[in-house]
């Protein structure tokens, strides 16, 4: 695992609709301008998840305007992976993709095994509880890796 605080971080997951947008939003809230932060997915076949928006808003993180994007779209839009110091993969598929895309670059790739809450829970309350658990897993890993927030939380 890399040491120190990176100047740029890319969070990635499967669809860029749940875990990686939450991580991007939390990182920006907790650490402000200390690092350039983006997120991407292996695929871009879903919009931002409403439950992700709701549980992030509970911590003052606004995700409603997030637009999902894939690794491929990042490249098309000129956001080169070699511009990132650290890639944090939040799913096995995104870890494989990140390692494949960076095999010739000197970029640290970390894997944080974060639960995928989609499809969990029967009613709204149960679903929100699952998404909160995912959000809190990301928050705990982030604070352990990057230290105390520099912005008001």
What are the domain boundaries of the chain? 8-145
pLDDT over 70 for what percent of the chain? 95
CA 135, CA 129: separation in Å to the nearest integer? 10
User: Which DSSP helix (H) or strand (E) runs through 12?
Assistant: strand 8-13
CA–CA dist 16, 48 (Å, integer)? 7
Whether 22 and 63 have beta carbons less than 8 Å apart is answered as yes
- In percent, how much of the chain has pLDDT > 90? 56
153 band by pLDDT with thresholds 50, 70 and 90: very low
Nearest to 56, CA basis, from 12, 23, 13: 23
Its pTM stands at 0.90
pLDDT of residue 133: 96
Biggest CA–CA distance in the chain, Å, is: 46
Which overall architecture, per CATH, does domain 8-145 show? 3-Layer(aba) Sandwich (3.40)
């Amino acid at each position: 695992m890399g040491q120190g605080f990176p100047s740029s971080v890319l969070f990635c997951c499967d669809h860029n609709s749940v875990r990686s947008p939450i991580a991007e939003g939390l990182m920006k809230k907790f650490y402000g301008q200390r690092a350039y932060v983006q997120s991407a997915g292996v695929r871009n076949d879903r919009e931002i998840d409403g439950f992700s928006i709701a549980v992030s808003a509970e911590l003052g993180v606004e995700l409603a305007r997030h637009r999902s994007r894939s690794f491929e779209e990042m490249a098309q839009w000129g956001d080169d992976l070699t511009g990132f110091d650290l890639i944090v993969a939040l799913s096995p598929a995104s870890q494989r993709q990140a390692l494949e895309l960076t095999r010739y670059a000197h970029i640290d790739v970390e894997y944080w095994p974060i639960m995928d809450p989609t499809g969990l829970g029967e009613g709204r309350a149960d679903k929100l509880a699952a998404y909160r658990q995912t959000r809190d897993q990301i928050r705990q890993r982030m604070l352990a890796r990057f230290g105390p927030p520099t912005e008001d939380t």
